[in-house]
Chain A
Amino acid sequence: GKACLSRTGPKARDGRSGEEEEEVKVSYQLYPGHIPTSPLQKALLAAGSAAMALYDPYRHDMVAVLGETTGCLALPSLRDKMKHHPEGYRILQERPLIRLSTLDMARLQGLPPGSLGREYVRFLEDNKVSPDTRMLPKFVDDEELAYVIQRYREVHDLMHTLLGMPTNMLGEIVVKWFEAVQTGLPMCVLGAAFGPVRLSTRKLQVLATQLVPWAIQSGLNASCILNVYYEQRWEQPVESLREEIGILPPP
């Protein structure tokens, strides 16, 4: 459902102290953590978060806010892509979450090397990241779309694994390019375009000549990455999954 905000317009009655005027502000919280916002607030948030994310790249929460406030066209189209795909549809129904509490880390570590589960755990350990640090959506005014963006965030680490990119600035930009092509989220496009601003020329060269073209081609070639039920494919070898989705071998 959509959130509806009735405007808080208190009418002042002059010179009558002690008289009470009650107005009810009904705000529907569509999901835990949801903050309903007006269009003006969303516009301000989008502009502000973009500026802050550029100013301080370590403000990951600002990147998240930017994604939520600008995703009003891309998110529904992603959701529709999921709905029209059997595996994607199942994901929307079952709403799996990638959390330390839902993953059996011991089992994943025990899987043969080269399998998705084993490589994913290796990626988490090498880069010292955890799936629990993802921000929950706040400003998406539709609880199904909120899940879609949450799924996108949680699948991000798996993208790193499938693309073989580390979590440094360069790796993140490559993944952003891939995601931009795949999802069409303005936040990804902006991140991909403005991220390289802070890179050295040598890295920019590698980026421009090898990595980005490969990322774009893979993005175009691959089927929708949100339509893969990763939790049921831990045993599948990464190579085979790459082929299935359509990601080209990394340079």
Chain B
Amino acid sequence: AVALCPVWTLLARRGGTLRELCGSLRGLAAGPETHFGFQTVTEAERREKIYQVFESVAKKYDVMNDSMTLGIHRIWKDIFVRKMNPSPGTLLLDVAGGTGDIAFRFLNYVHSVRERQLQRKLRQQQNLSWQEISETYQEDKLKSLGDSRVVVCDINKEMLKVGKQKAQHLGYSEGLSWVLGDAEELPFDDAKFDVYTIAFGIRNVTRIDLALREAYRVLKPGGRFLCLEFSHINNPLFSRLYDLYSFQVIPVLGEIIAGDWKSYQYLVESIRRFPPQDELKAMIEDVGFFKVDYQNLNGGIVAIHSGFKL
């Protein structure tokens, strides 16, 4: 026999508190209530569901990103790293960095900055003895990245696995490490990193405030917090078109390319659940960051939030 089961779901615009509508069987749910896309779930359930989403999409993650954003996500990530403007010697923690997109861009960036530094140095030192020149080359060969390092931390084993495979395939080995960890409880000591980034990851964290607090903790004084995430569009017409594309096209792409409708339905719903730009800015300030600001890209489809620990 086939049962008829109505599923009532709730959409709360602009974040804020959740109110449960009747029809949910979770009246006696244990633990605080939160959201998974448009559903109401307990925190424990949400963590489990999100883990499963990323376990399921890991192998097709990059292909899906390219299809959904028509490749534009690459430009967003390029702008993000350019904004970071890391200098050689920077120690970066990339949280929820799974498949390594930010980490690889960081390494490319510091490598090219380092190249330019070395070229400038060589041009200035034209009248050296052969001895001195060979010494310079030896020293610089060891520091083609200039001591820069990136630690990629992700809660999901599958995503890390894909990231490591990509690194091997693309030839990244130096200055890169992979750590399994939870953004809400990072396995690192205080004040260890120069920069903390989280790109398209903070939306999937269940307690954003805890993740922000951890970010503050592990950053050195003077360190920078950077967050790249889908955000809210103010323009009503643009917002309508974006909604249409998100809800009509993206789950279909998920079904066709990855054989997984539900994960991509979750994706577009979770974007709408996420706090808008100003609210996120306030949350970052609450944790103790200074000079917090945000930059909208593509009219608010994504936003880069930045803050400093002083």
- CB within 8 Å of B: which residues of A? 1, 8-10, 12-14, 16-32, 35, 38, 40-41, 44-45, 48-49, 51-52, 59, 61-62, 65, 95, 138, 143, 146-147
B255: chain A residues at CB < 8 Å are 45, 48-49, 65
A12, A29, A146: the one within 8 Å of B239 (CB) = A12
| Closest Cβ–Cβ distance, residue B38 to chain A (whole Å) | 6
Judged by a CB distance under 8 angstroms, whether B97 is at the interface is no
Residue of B with least CB distance to A43:
B252
30 interchain pairs, CB-CB under 8 A: A10-B11, A10-B13, A14-B234, A17-B276, A18-B14, A20-B12, A20-B13, A20-B14, A21-B13, A23-B13, A24-B10, A25-B9, A25-B38, A26-B6, A28-B4, A28-B7, A29-B5, A29-B7, A32-B2, A41-B251, A44-B249, A44-B252, A45-B256, A48-B253, A48-B255, A48-B256, A49-B256, A59-B259, A62-B256, A138-B261
B17 within 8 A of A: yes
B165 part of interface (Cβ distance < 8 Å): no
Q: Does B247 contact A (CB under 8 A)?
A: yes
- Bin the interface of chain B by size: 35 or more
Task: Kindly list chain B residues whose C-beta atoms are within 8 Å of the C-beta of A20.
Answer: 12-14, 16-17
> B4 to chain A: which residues have CB within 8 Å?
1, 28-30, 143
Counting from the closest, the 3 A-B pairs by CB-CB distance are A48-B256, A21-B13, A31-B2
Q: Are B248 and A17 interface neighbours, CB within 8 A?
A: no
The closest CB in chain A to the CB of B249 belongs to A44
**Within 8 Å of chain A (Cβ to Cβ): is B30?**
no
Which secondary structure characterizes the binding site on chain B?
A: mixed
B279 contacts the other chain (Cβ, under 8 Å)? yes
| Bound-complex Cα distance A20 to B14 (A) | 6
Return A102 CB to nearest CB of chain B, in Å. 15
Which of B11, B17, B239, B251 interacts with A24 by CB under 8 Å? B11
Contact A19–B5 (Cβ < 8 Å): no
Q: Please name all residues of chain B whose beta carbon is closer than 8 Å to the beta carbon of A13 when the two chains form the complex.
A: 13
Residue B26 CB within 8 A of the other chain: no
Interface hub of B7, B13, B38, B239 (most chain A Cβ within 10 A): B13
Shortest distance between the CB of B155 and any CB in chain A (Å): 27
- The one of B247, B259, B276, B278 in contact with A8, judged by C-beta atoms closer than 8 angstroms, is B247
Q: Which residues of A contact B251 (CB under 8 A)?
A: 41
